[in-house]
Structure 1
């Protein structure tokens, strides 16, 4: 990229400010310039000191990106981080869980979802097939109570959208026990039900495992996938290998240390290398933290800016603010100080990221906030 082109990009960035709607810990940016898809497209975001091309996790992201590029000149489309990997098809759970258990003994030569049969086995169907589906609600009643049968005929993507709007997500199944629980609510049904496993050859440049898809039509495996606002549905189209496009990038404001250290050393490390230890101030912060840990394949525990204050008998963030009641603690509630180990970490428990108390002297990697 020559100097004049680089300066042009910087000037255009000033004219099109970043979006503020995606949350405190991740922001979207537009490079409103036709980026050539030959030579430099794969590192254009990193050249501008962004994390990477944007990963689209859900309908809210998609809508925000639509808004961000709505004022640019034609063609109103921009590269996102989704791209095809030739014939390397992989499976991923809708909610981002690692795929550690399946009941599949087949492959699919296109975009497919997994459907649950009454006998507990699964099969792959084209994702455009319209069938019933199963959502889940986290933290309700008995284990089997969290599974909700939805007797509406929808394709896999429509089912995912419905579950995310009305419950948590399409159900993921992590072991034989959960498989039996789902089987018990279907009983002797003659129908198949979508579950949250998607099978396709779309990957994201930053390594994320998002299964959100919004195609205008099923993509060709040889082309990069684009986000377009050329129609009211905000769907994705594909660009050719030649030509040039705008680019959508993002920046994560979460830094993960490469070294392990005690909580006190973690605090000093983050104060010296970032803005301080990470504070999870909202459910959006929790979601973004989980996404970053999944993206980097870190199950935890990792230190965050949380510590028990003896004088008040309360857990507080490093800046002195109190912990809100919605915080997702391991065990369901804040640890009592008699049993508490006094410093806060986040770790994966049965596939779900929870806050937990740890001995402050233990050595873990650390999450910092950066600006």
Structure 2
């Protein structure tokens, strides 16, 4: 296995970019399906290394960004519940809901704790037996098995004050919904390395076979991303549409069956709301009935009024690849990282945050 520094080698990155420029003749618009790829492309200036024939557009690959406003509203209501400690990842704290954010609740005295893993939330519950600790479960197939492992740990420890509010999302149904919507003129997909490490590549086969769109599973370093784009360009120029893995040091076609089995043990697919995509059938995860005692949605009253998004925020269109952040009138004016209007400016994987930090001069 190569050392990680080799995947950051500027000379190798320049060589790959030159190969892309030499090979690419057919205009192609590729979508990255992972927010980490979005940030890598922007941070390392990879857009500027590509020829005019190749363009990249961001898709619904940021888990914080696709979390629907109504799900944020439930988390905010939960934070207002006496005796409850809400444990969550840092990005989610600042995402605006219809009536404020978790950060605002914390400033008002609510118990909102930032944790770095679901197991940290279990540890917090063990240390705070007088409180009900609720972990906000967001993310794709990458994080769902870790939340399942946390529930298993809480069960083994006999904790009665730990539960999960699940807002997990599944990538394949969202990809299907995206392709069933307006034609985005896509020529292929840069597929997420982390998610595919868990679920494998089978979900991309219909995209390549039936839709004729090449798919390449990419790593996250500059050389990984450029090598993956080169693979996509080769497929376009050769008239192929296949599923290929660039990120072979971590991804196999079969994925991680043990992680999938653990996820399936605790969770089942349900219809779920996505920011920008609406409700998608069987695209979310809820705790199975036999594990209801760990389900915060059953333990607490989380009914909320209909969600209200900011009327000027266009995060939904950004997540669908229909426009770039500068095309939103709020971008870099009313909406900035210090005062975000929408989640795409909040998340460390958000498209608007990537543009604001690294691409505003464009």
Instruction: Please report the TM-score for the alignment, with normalisation by the length of structure 2.
Output: 0.29
Over alpha carbons, which structure has the higher Rg? 1
Higher normalized strand content (fraction of residues): 1
